[in-house]
């Protein structure tokens, strides 16, 4: 185990998340052990209620585990208080959500630089330029979210997640609200971030073709990891999901 | 449908509670005022009745004149008393006098008249059954150097029967032996007034009414009606100079006179209660608007399921009725408590109100509930109509309908209403429209600016907050944009505060202008070295100094001249007005009233000096004769001189000599005594000598020019502080409004705030965003309030230029303090919303679906 800590960007050790008590008890995560390699694009899949979103939330410090441990790098998140968790999120992690990704009162550029601004850090101009160019929104930087299409909004969200050069980007159904063309744009962009810049990405999705962009797919059911695929294809993922009875 | 209404209410308890507070506070203030004044009125009616309970008839002079200081009646000759006593059917008759007499306690300090409250009365001790005074210790005065005092004064001055007290009156201070202590009915004092009761000759001497009475109280024999008694006395006296009225009418007149004073107090307080309710109406409007906006989907769904527009409107209005009624009911209860508390407070500052049952009249309940509920419903009308316009399709959209096209209409409306308000205000101030027109104009201005505000809120908000992004980075940007994102909401929230601030700022400017005008007229007119003034400031005609004081000071070695100045009411050429009186020979060396034409220093007993302004206004000429009615009878005085510093300069338009004054008035009290030292006199030595004279006059205070100025402005400050306290309620309600709006906005922005927290905004930063938003809204309201305050203050000051208000002054320091205070108040209003925002659960917020 100890040798692996150096290469894993994030890992969960016997992590459980239990909601309610007694008869109403729900085990969203049931003593999960999982590791996510640095510089890799990992997808988490599973049917509704499998605990995939909960896993993402506890890994990202948005939620706490009932028992067990969660590490970002060498830091045990369960030992941190609310403020320290906020700092970890701001400085070490990036986020892309399915919806409500952007602050409506800020323009695209301000949204991208938001975590840096909150930390009081100036963005690296070269890197900013690279990200903006890669996202392909150079001419829309001063537009507000309601002036952008859904795909453009998600690309801004991804750009925001990448701009702080976080150790890990967490993406929660980033293409769930997009048509397939926009979804492809966003996913290729994420793939490139991994290939070109060595970014670590952990993505929750229920879409097999989205999962196919990943290096590795982890399958969850009933709060447990039941399988995984390396270098998946859409068809392989789709087959595996069917057997899970989604 | 009603079920939906009820559910709506119960589902939003907190926001409705905040709305309700805005109504409750206003209603409580109003109900409290009504209950308090009703209670005081009943108590004082009882008191007034008890004074004249056994009086069946009252004989007084027929000569009465109207003056700037109110109605003034001549006295009757003392011989009338003997004639009345001989008339058949008269059982008992007493002469009465009421005059200024202040008791000095054992410690050498004056008793009574704290903060210019209740008067210090001198009276005749009448041992018969007609008086309300009852001895509780000792006996009545039988010698001319004996006095009976009220028990409250005896307690305050630690005086006992047999002690010697000094009495200040218009005669030189003199000592009296306390022969007895009396209560007024069962009360220690007559509603807080101090009383010194003397033998008839002493009272007549002390009041300058030798051989005269204010009137004569008469009790008839059993079986004779009051009317019958009045008829018999009128016939028996057969004197055209006297008037005989029934005891009932006397009681009624006294009650009416008191009710009139109380009415002023009542109206003033009710005005503040209405201001509070007006401010509250903005909060109600805002809450209902936001709730309707948040429920757009729900209402759309109801419409899709077949609810008619009417039903939707009624549903919203039913909520308003329920909230308004409950809030008014709470306000009513709080108001009764407030009245009881206020009465205790008045007692604590020396305005002693006797005990009596708290009066809750049906009118108070009806007005309180009706007005509170009515204002809530009226404020909810527009939001209800807006709710009814929601189309069924809205249920399916995340709707944010644009309102830009309505802004033009709004701008025109706002300008028109504001313009009408300005016209009404100016008509009230300059065109003789009176205080109602002024109030209505101010109301329209507030309303008009409130209507206009959403049009300009966005740019003005950005302007106010422009340094914020630079100072506070992203937190500042977010706060600024949040304040600007919903101009209508920001505007009506700021408008509520605007009203409070405008009134506070206006009254500040007005008070500063009064103070500056005082100061400049004192600087201009004050030529003496010192002035002696009374410590407590009573109403004119009550209190002052015996002319003996000026005489004694004038004899102090080193004093070149000392002269008293008096003010008195008179009817000049049919106008109720007032005049000043001074010694013309020394007057011009003591104060500069800018003599113009004629011989001011040689003003004789049949002459009068008039200000040049008055001369011009009336078209009078030097040498002309003026018909003047004094309390003691009419006289013609010739205009012998003119001077420049009249009422417009803060002084008086008519000046007569002390000699003339003494001919026409029996009440001779100097309001102030001006002193000039000899040029080579040692100030310190002379001051000590003057202070030695003042030892006999413990109500006197020696001041130099600067101290005099300070004490004049201090009085303005006292009134100012009182008004601040009354306006505080309106400001507090406005702050509740800010808290409420922010709280509701936060509910709307849950997912956005969750996102901010997820990407790394700390709770502290989030609270800061909310706080700054509150500060921006508060500053928006404050800035607009200041602009309106400046306009109101400027126009009022200019309209009063001929009343002696010569200087307009907007005090920069005070106005900046108000700004800072408003910003700080914004921070306080943001405490609850900020805490609420910080508590938002990130997971709930981002997994909203």
Determine contact: B382 vs chain A, CB below 8 A. no
Residue A118 has pLDDT above 60, yes or no: yes
Mean pLDDT of B122-129: 90
pLDDT beyond 70 at B628? yes
Give how far B294 is from chain A: nearest CA, Å. 17
In the predicted model, is pLDDT for residue B541 greater than 70?
Answer: no
Residue from B758, B770, B840 whose CB has the most chain A CBs within 10 Å, to mutate: B758
**Domain limits of chain B?**
54-258, 468-527+706-849, 537-698
Convert A60-90 to b/e letters by CB count within 10 Å (16 or more is b). bbbbebeebebbbeeeebbebeeeebbebbb
d(CA B521, CA B526): 8
Contact state of A120 with B754 under an 8 Å Cβ cutoff: no
Distance CA B516, CA A157 (A): 62
What integer pLDDT is reported at residue B781 of this predicted model? 92
Is residue B848 pLDDT above 70, yes or no? no
Using pLDDT thresholds of 50, 70 and 90, give the confidence band for residue B289: confident
- Which of B18-32, B101-115, B576-590 shows the lowest per-residue confidence on average (mean pLDDT)? B101-115
Phi, psi of A18 (to 5 degrees): -120, 130
Q: Indicate the pLDDT class of residue B349, thresholds 50, 70 and 90.
A: low
Sign of CA dihedral B453, B456, B457, B460: negative
Give the model's pLDDT for residue B312: 85
Contacting B residues, span 742-781, partner chain A, CB-CB under 8 Å? 751-752, 754-763, 765
* Local structure of B699: helix, strand or coil: coil
Express each pLDDT in B777-815 by its tens digit. Answer: 999 999 999 999 999 888 888 888 777 677 888 888 888
Please name the residues in contact with B741: beta carbons below 8 A apart, sequence gap of 6 or more.
Answer: B286, B287, B290, B489, B490, B493, B777
Q: How confident is the model at residue B488 (pLDDT cuts 50, 70, 90)?
A: confident
Give the confidence band of B606 by pLDDT, cuts at 50, 70, 90: very high
With a CB-CB cutoff of 8 Å, which residues 474-513 of chain B face chain A? 474-475, 477-478, 481-482, 485
Q: What is the pLDDT of residue B399?
A: 46
Percent of chain A at pLDDT > 90 equals 15
d(CA B391, CA B388): 8
Q: Chain B: residue nearest A99 by CA?
A: B846
**With contacts defined as CB-CB under 8 Å, which chain B residues touch A100?**
751-752, 754-755, 845-846, 848
Q: A22 or B778: whose pLDDT is higher?
A: B778
pLDDT at A5: 42
pLDDT digits (tens, 9 = 90+) for B157-167: 899 999 999 99
Residue B92 vs residues B84, B140, B199, B700: alpha-carbon distances, Å: 9, 18, 17, 41
Residues 61-80, chain A: which have Cβ within 8 Å of B?
62-63
Please tell me the predicted confidence (pLDDT) of residue B350: 56
How far apart are the C-alpha atoms of A88 and A72, rounded to whole Å? 9
> CA-to-CA distance for B113 and B281, rounded, in angstroms?
41
pLDDT of residue B402: 47
Largest CA distance in chain B: 103
Identify the residue among B478, B756, B760, B838 best suited for mutation to test binding to A, counting A beta carbons within 10 A and taking the highest: B760
Write out pLDDT tens, residues A127-183: 888 888 877 888 888 988 888 888 888 889 888 888 888 899 999 888 887 888 888
Region of poorest pLDDT, from A179-183, B59-63, B167-171, B195-199: A179-183
Q: Closest Cα to residue B700, out of B537, B581, B586? A: B537
For the segment B318-332, the average pLDDT, to the nearest whole number, is: 90
> What is the sign of the dihedral through the CA atoms of B653, B656, B658 and B663?
negative
For the segment B337-350, the average pLDDT, to the nearest whole number, is: 75
Q: Is the pLDDT of residue B528 over 60?
A: yes
What is residue B596's three-state secondary structure?
A: strand
Q: Is residue B254 packed enough to be buried (19+ CB in 10 Å), middle (13-18) or exposed (0-12)?
A: middle
Model confidence at B771, in pLDDT bands (50, 70, 90)?
very high
Secondary structure in 3-state letters for B411-452:
HHHHHHHHHHHHHHHHHHHHCCCHHHHHHHHHHHHHHHHHHH
Does residue A245 surpass a pLDDT of 70? Answer: no
pLDDT of residue B629: 92
List of domains in chain A: 38-64+78-243 (3.40.50.300)
What pLDDT shows up at residue B660? 92
Q: State yes or no: pLDDT of A34 exceeds 50.
A: yes
pLDDT tens by residue, A39-62:
899 999 988 888 888 899 899 888
Residue A3 has pLDDT above 50, yes or no: no
Residues A105, B473: C-beta atoms closer than 8 Å: no
Which of the two residues, B730 and B394, has the higher pLDDT score? B730
Mean pLDDT of B606-629: 91
Q: State whether B760 and A118 contact (CB < 8 Å).
A: yes
Name the residue among A86, A98, A106 with its Cβ closest to that of B760: A86
- Give the pLDDT of residue B822: 87
The overall average pLDDT reported for chain B is: 86
3-state helix, strand, coil in chain A (%, to 5): 40, 25, 30
- Is B471 near chain A, with CB under 8 Å? no
pLDDT at A2 exceeding the cut of 70: no
User: Above 80 in pLDDT, residue A227?
Assistant: yes
pLDDT of res. B353: 66
Q: Which helix (H) or strand (E) holds B322?
A: helix B309-348
User: What confidence score (pLDDT) does residue B666 get?
Assistant: 85
Q: Contacts of residue A160 in chain B, CB cutoff 8 Å?
A: 759
The confidence score (pLDDT) of residue B244 equals 93
- At B209, phi and psi to the nearest 5? -110, 55
Distance from CA of A14 to the nearest CA of B (A): 22
CA angle B699, B700, B702 (to 5 degrees): 155
| CA atoms of B374 and A44, how far apart (whole Å) | 59
Phi, psi of A91 (to 5 degrees): -100, -25
Contacting residues of B for A82, CB less than 8 Å apart: 763
List of chain A residues whose C-beta atoms are within 8 Å of the C-beta of residue B473: 117, 120
């Amino acid at each position: 185990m100890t040798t692996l800590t150096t290469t894993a960007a994030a890992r969960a050790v016997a992590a459980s998340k239990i909601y309610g008590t007694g008869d109403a008890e729900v085990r969203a995560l049931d003593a999960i052990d999982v590791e996510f390699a640095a510089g890799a694009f990992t997808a988490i899949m599973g049917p509704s209620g499998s605990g995939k979103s909960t896993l993402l939330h506890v890994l990202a410090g948005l939620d706490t585990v009932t028992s067990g441990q969660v590490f970002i790098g060498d830091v045990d998140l369960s030992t941190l208080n609310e403020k320290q968790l906020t700092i970890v999120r701001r400085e070490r992690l990036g986020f892309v959500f399915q919806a409500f990704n952007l602050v409506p009162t800020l323009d695209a550029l301000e949204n991208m630089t938001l975590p840096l601004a909150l930390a009081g850090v100036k963005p690296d101009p070269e890197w900013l330029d690279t990200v903006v160019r890669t996202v392909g929104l150079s001419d829309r930087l001063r537009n507000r979210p309601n002036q952008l299409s859904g795909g453009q909004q998600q690309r801004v969200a991804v750009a925001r997640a990448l701009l702080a050069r976080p150790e890990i980007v967490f993406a929660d159904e980033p293409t769930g609200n997009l048509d397939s063309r926009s979804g492809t744009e966003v996913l290729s962009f994420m793939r490139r971030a991994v290939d070109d810049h060595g970014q670590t990405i952990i993505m929750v999705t229920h879409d097999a073709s989205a999962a196919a962009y990943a290096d590795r797919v982890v399958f969850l059911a009933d709060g447990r990891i039941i399988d995984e695929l390396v270098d998946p294809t859409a068809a392989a993922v789709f087959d595996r999901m069917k057997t899970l009875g989604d | 449908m009603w079920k939906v209404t009820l559910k709506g209410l119960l589902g939003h308890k907190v926001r409705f509670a905040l709305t309700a507070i805005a109504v409750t506070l206003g209603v409580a203030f109003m109900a409290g005022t009504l209950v308090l004044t009703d209670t005081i009125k009943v108590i004082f009616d009882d008191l007034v009745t008890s004074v004249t309970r056994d009086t069946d008839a009252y004989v007084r002079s027929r000569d009465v004149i109207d003056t700037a200081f109110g109605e003034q009646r001549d006295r009757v000759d003392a011989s009338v008393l003997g004639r009345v006593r001989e008339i058949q059917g008269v059982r008992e008759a007493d002469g009465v006098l009421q005059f200024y007499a202040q008791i000095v306690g054992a410690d050498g300090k004056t008793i009574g008249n704290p903060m210019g409250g209740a008067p210090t009365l001198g009276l005749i001790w009448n041992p018969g059954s007609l008086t309300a005074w009852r001895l509780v210790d000792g006996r009545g005065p039988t010698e001319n150097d004996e006095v009976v005092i009220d028990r409250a004064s005896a307690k305050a001055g630690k005086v006992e029967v047999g002690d010697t007290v000094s009495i200040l009156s218009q005669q030189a201070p003199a000592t009296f032996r306390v022969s007895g202590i009396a209560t007024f009915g069962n009360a220690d004092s007559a509603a807080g007034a101090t009383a010194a009761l003397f033998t008839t000759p002493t009272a007549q001497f002390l009041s300058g009414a030798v051989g005269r009475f204010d009137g004569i109280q008469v009790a008839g024999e059993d079986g004779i009606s009051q009317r019958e008694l009045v008829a018999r006395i009128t016939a028996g006296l057969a004197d055209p100079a006297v008037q005989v009225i029934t005891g009932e009418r006397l009681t009624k007149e006294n009650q009416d006179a008191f009710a009139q004073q109380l009415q002023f107090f009542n109206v003033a307080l009710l005005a503040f209660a209405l201001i509070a309710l007006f401010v509250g109406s903005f909060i109600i409007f805002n809450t209902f608007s936001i709730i309707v906006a948040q429920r757009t989907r729900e209402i759309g769904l109801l419409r899709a399921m077949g609810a008619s527009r009417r039903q939707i409107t009624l549903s919203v209005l039913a909520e308003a009725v329920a909230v308004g009624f409950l809030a008014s009911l709470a306000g009513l209860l709080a108001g009764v408590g407030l009245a009881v508390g206020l009465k205790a407070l008045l007692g604590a500052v020396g305005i002693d109100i006797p005990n009596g049952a708290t009066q809750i009249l049906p009118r108070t309940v009806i007005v309180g509930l009706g007005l509170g509920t009515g204002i809530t419903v009226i404020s909810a009308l527009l939001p209800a109509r807006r709710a009814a316009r929601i189309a069924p399709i809205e249920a399916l959209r995340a709707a944010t309908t644009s309102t830009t096209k309505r802004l033009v209409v709004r701008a025109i409306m706002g300008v028109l209403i504001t313009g009408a308000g300005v016209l009404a205000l100016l008509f009230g101030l300059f065109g003789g429209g009176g205080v109602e027109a002024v109030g209505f104009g101010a109301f329209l201005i507030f309303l008009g600016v409130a209507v206009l505000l959403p049009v300009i809120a966005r740019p003005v908000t950005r302007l106010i907050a422009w340094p914020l992004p630079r100072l506070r980075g992203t937190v500042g940007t977010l706060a600024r944009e949040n304040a600007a994102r919903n101009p209508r909401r920001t505007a009506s929230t700021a408008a509520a505060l605007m009203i409070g601030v405008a009134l506070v700022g206006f009254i500040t400017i007005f008070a500063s202008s009064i103070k500056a005008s005082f100061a400049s007229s004192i600087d201009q007119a004050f030529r003496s070295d010192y002035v002696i003034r009374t410590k407590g400031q009573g109403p004119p005609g009550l209190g002052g100094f015996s002319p003996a004081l000026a005489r004694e000071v004038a004899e102090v070695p080193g004093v070149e001249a000392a002269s008293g100045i008096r003010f008195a009411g008179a009817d000049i050429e049919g106008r109720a007005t007032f005049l000043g009186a001074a010694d013309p020979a020394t007057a011009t060396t003591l104060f500069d009233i800018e003599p113009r034409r004629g011989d001011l220093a040689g003003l004789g007993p049949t002459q009068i000096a008039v200000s040049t302004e008055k001369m011009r206004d009336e078209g009078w000429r030097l040498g002309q004769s003026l018909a003047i009615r004094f309390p003691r009878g009419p006289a013609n005085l010739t205009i012998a001189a003119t001077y420049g510093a009249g009422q417009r300069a803060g002084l008086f338009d008519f000046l007569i000599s002390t000699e003339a004054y003494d001919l026409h008035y029996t009440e001779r009290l100097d309001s102030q005594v001006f002193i000039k030292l000899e040029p080579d006199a040692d100030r310190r030595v002379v001051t000590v000598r003057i202070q030695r004279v003042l030892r006999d006059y413990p109500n006197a205070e020696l001041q130099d020019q600067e101290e005099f100025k300070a004490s004049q402005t201090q009085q303005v400050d006292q009134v100012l502080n009182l008004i601040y306290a009354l306006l505080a309620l309106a400001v507090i309600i406005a702050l509740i409004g800010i808290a409420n709006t922010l709280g509701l906005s936060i509910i709307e922005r849950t997912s956005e705030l969750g996102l901010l927290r997820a990407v790394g905004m700390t709770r502290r930063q989030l609270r800061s965003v909310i706080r700054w938003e509150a500060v921006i809204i508060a500053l928006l309201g404050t800035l607009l309030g200041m602009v309106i305050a400046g306009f109101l203050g400027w126009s009022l000051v200019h309209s009063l230029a001929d009343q002696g208000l010569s200087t307009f002054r907007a005090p920069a320091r005070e106005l900046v303090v108000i700004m800072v205070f408003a910003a700080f108040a914004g921070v306080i209003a943001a405490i609850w919303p900020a805490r609420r925002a910080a508590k938002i659960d990130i997971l709930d917020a981002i997994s909203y679906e």
